Amino acid sequence: MSQLDAPVVVANRAKGSSFYAAMRILPREQREAMYAIYDVCRAVDDIADEGGTSEQRLAELALWRKDLDALYYGGPPGRFASIASLVRRFDLKHVDFAALLDGMTMDAQGNIRAPDLATLDLYCDRVASAVGRLSNQIFGIRGNDSLLLSHHLGRALQLTNILRDLDEDADLGRLYLPREALAEAGIVSLDPAEVMAHPALARACQPLIARARAHFREAAIVWRRIPRSKTRAPRLMGAVYGLLLDRLEARGFRAPRDRVKLDRLTLMGLLIRHGLF
């Protein structure tokens, strides 16, 4: 695939997602840069989830890490060739791509099951807030506000994802609910299937709902200090995932759990409200 074709292909992969809706409101240069970053994130995420045995996944991620180092230290960028020009144009940081690979390595090493809160927070930083830091460079958000916005919004989005994807993750043998929340709810088992069937599952989810809402509130405090022209996409993502969280809580966590998603009309309403005006 040529670099010229990359934005079209990525847009097709992302089309229909909340990410696509949020990024399409950006100026073309920023939009195509975000699609390219999305493509990298999707590629390494697919490896962590579907790349064969743990050894095979780790070996493939190691090759990505080697190419990342080459990109920044003068060698052929290999798997990162499609974003090489973006690294220079937007001053994207090596440490943030490395953090993303570290997060995928956590998944590839073995199925995560009930991490403690500190480990869960580290995971969220690597797979979500690091992507936020890269995105903020493209949006033109800099300094301490960039770090704070990516910290809080990234965690809010990832915790919402965890709550939305409980059953899908359990099917993969994964359980991201923190062990402190399970213990507080009286759930002893760390087996994902058993936890999904436990009558106290909703109680175990409540601390994550509260943490996600706290991060959404803090993110909103930060983006009010930043020119709105730079925060249209983060605000829209916050609105989409905030509504998803509302609907997850309203649906509850008693089985059977229908997957919560937003219809096109709702997404268009949020796009008009937060993206265009």
- Confidence band, pLDDT 50/70/90 cuts, at residue 3: very low
- List the domains of the chain with CATH numbers: 1-110 (no CATH), 111-277 (1.10.600.10)
pLDDT band at 149 (very low <50, low <70, confident <90, very high): very high
- The DSSP output letter for 225 is T
Whether the CB-CB separation of 171 and 103 falls below 8 Å is answered with no
Q: What percentage of the chain has pLDDT greater than the value 90?
A: 82
Q: pTM of whole model > 0.85?
A: yes
Tell me the chain's radius of gyration from C-alpha atoms. Answer: 19
**What per-residue confidence (pLDDT) applies to 9?**
36
Cβ neighbors of 47 (< 8 A, separation 6 or more) are 57, 60, 61, 64, 104, 108
pLDDT in tens, 196-208: 999 999 999 999 9
Nearby residues of 6 by Cβ (< 8 Å), 6 or more positions away: 32, 35, 36, 39, 82
Report the half-sphere exposure of 49 (CA within 13 A, side-chain side).
11
| pLDDT tens column, 159-194 | 999 999 999 999 999 999 999 999 999 999 999 999
C-alpha to C-alpha distances, 115 to 205, 209, 249, nearest whole angstrom: 14, 17, 22
State mean pLDDT over 214-233. 96
| pLDDT tens readout for residues 40-89 | 999 999 999 887 899 999 999 999 999 999 999 989 999 999 999 999 99
